[in-house]
Homo-oligomer: A and B are copies of this chain.
Amino acid sequence: MPSAGFDSLPLSMAMNLSTLGEFGLISHLARMTPSRGGGVVLGIGDDAAVVKGPKGMNLLLAACDTVIEKIHFEKGASGKEIGWKAMARNISDIAAMGGLPRYALVAATLPRSLLKGRALAIHQGILKAAKDFGIMVVGGDTSHHSGGIHLTVTILGEVHPRHLLTRSGARPGDVVCVTGSLGGSIYGKHLAFTPRMEEARFLARSRFKPTSMIDLSDGLASDLMRLAEQSGVGFEVHAESIPISTEIARRHQRFDDRVRHALADGEDYELLFTVKPGDFSQLQKSWKRRFKLPVTMIGRVRPRSFGLKLLSDGRTKAIKSRTNDHFLD
């Protein structure tokens, strides 16, 4: 799409980020940004960028993401957890594209008062994730400031064009699936999750290759909305089918509360994907032979006009994304 240019933007320049919201800003920036040509297969708008390698060779994937003290982790998080999380979020993005992570660059902006032991523990967390997923840390940048810990990780990966999974291929009738269970990541999982790399690679290479896939970072509701937008479809989600985490099940007795957490909590880092209507039962059989992690059918893709609806006890209601908008927290 051509750059929309500064002047044509509809929102007032006097809005600040709290009013505008991160998603609003990103979509505006994306509209301003040229996205065709130069070997770009997919620019802004999916889990990772995709650029063409030389003819016949693998596509290059690139994703980047920042974790910030007091937003993505609290002071009590260990250095290793922080480093792991900064890496794992990006690895999860590469997984969601069907790719393999290869290289990482780490830009660390650290408090001047940070103890060296903590800086090194962060780096150990980074290196642990790198080792576990076969990634080489090839570069980065270190600076200081008066605020908290900021880590920006860029991960480069690769994917064979046949195995590329995007957000844009869901079609009405497809089955909507999710791995693992959702909600309550704040009780620990958000610092210690395992990116679903093996599961994603299995899906990308299987006979049941998903028609679309995304990793659940901002919450089922928000990420469904992204899939809906990019695929130009609607979704019907069956509340009773949503797999609820034990953290949430233990803490909440009311069904509605459980579902609300599963939809809105975010940072599940599970895979949300769609497969062709006939494929799910075979996929599930094949899956169970390989993985302990459950895979669950939670709904159906519908036409765009249907919107995003939750079916519960025979009634439907609209799913609103909590926006999980960092600027609106």
Contact with B along A56-83 (1 / 0, CB 8 A): 0100101111101011000000000000
Q: Is A293 an interface residue (CB 8 A)?
A: no
Docked complex: A1-57 residues within 8 A CB-CB of B: 3, 6, 9, 11-18, 20, 22, 25-26, 28-29, 32-35, 37-40, 42-44, 48-49, 51, 53-54, 57
Compute how far the CA of A113 lies from the CA of B148 in the bound complex, rounded to whole angstroms: 18
Inter-chain contact B145/A112, CB cutoff 8 Å: no
Inter-chain contact A139/B62, CB cutoff 8 Å: yes
> Which of A103-111, A239-247, A274-282 lies on the face that meets chain B?
A103-111
Tell me which of B43, B139, B152, B327 contacts A137 (CB under 8 A).
Answer: B43
> Which of A117-125, A169-177, A197-205, A223-231 lies on the face that meets chain B?
A117-125
Total identical chains: 2
**Closest Cβ of chain B: how far from A205's Cβ, in Å?**
20
A interface: dominant SS: mixed
Q: Considering only CB atoms, which chain B residue lies closest to A3 in the complex?
A: B127
Docked complex: A104-158 residues within 8 A CB-CB of B: 105-107, 109-117, 119-121, 123-124, 127, 130-131, 134, 136-148, 150, 152, 154, 156
Tell me which of B11, B37, B60, B109 contacts A136 (CB under 8 A).
Answer: B37
Between A and B, 14 residue pairs with Cβ closer than 8 Å are A16-B112, A16-B113, A17-B111, A25-B116, A32-B124, A33-B127, A39-B136, A49-B138, A60-B60, A63-B139, A68-B145, A143-B326, A144-B326, A145-B150
Interface of A toward B, CB cutoff 8 Å: 3, 6, 9, 11-18, 20, 22, 25-26, 28-29, 32-35, 37-40, 42-44, 48-49, 51, 53-54, 57, 60, 62-66, 68, 70-71, 102-103, 105-107, 109-117, 119-121, 123-124, 127, 130-131, 134, 136-148, 150, 152, 154, 156, 326-327
